[in-house]
Amino acid sequence: MRVTINLDDDALKYIDQFTAGRPMSRGRAASELIRRGYNRPLVTHMVNGLHVVTVPPGSPKVTPEHIREIEEREEVERARKFSR
């Protein structure tokens, strides 16, 4: 399928690095990288009987403010569905 998307400069750089030495287009490379990221298993470990997600070094911290923003967005989306 042919689509037009806007990519951040760093994302395009990763695609170009991935295609270096490979006989593939940027589109095929983007598809492959998306599939790999989507299908990557979620790594967890146990802490006091709870599964805790293991994130890569340098990942942003989840703060109470982030959670409030997500909850507010979800509430707005639910309200929009019911108002249609």
Does 16 have pLDDT greater than 80? yes
3-state secondary structure of 43: coil
User: Cα(16)–Cα(18) distance, rounded to whole angstroms?
Assistant: 5
**pLDDT tens, position by position, 54-66:** 888 898 888 999 9
pTM confidence score: 0.54
Average pLDDT over residues 45-72: 92
Does 7 have pLDDT greater than 90? yes
Q: What residue type is 77 in one-letter code?
A: E
Going by pLDDT thresholds of 50, 70 and 90, the confidence category of residue 42 is: confident
The better pLDDT of the pair 34, 41 is held by 34
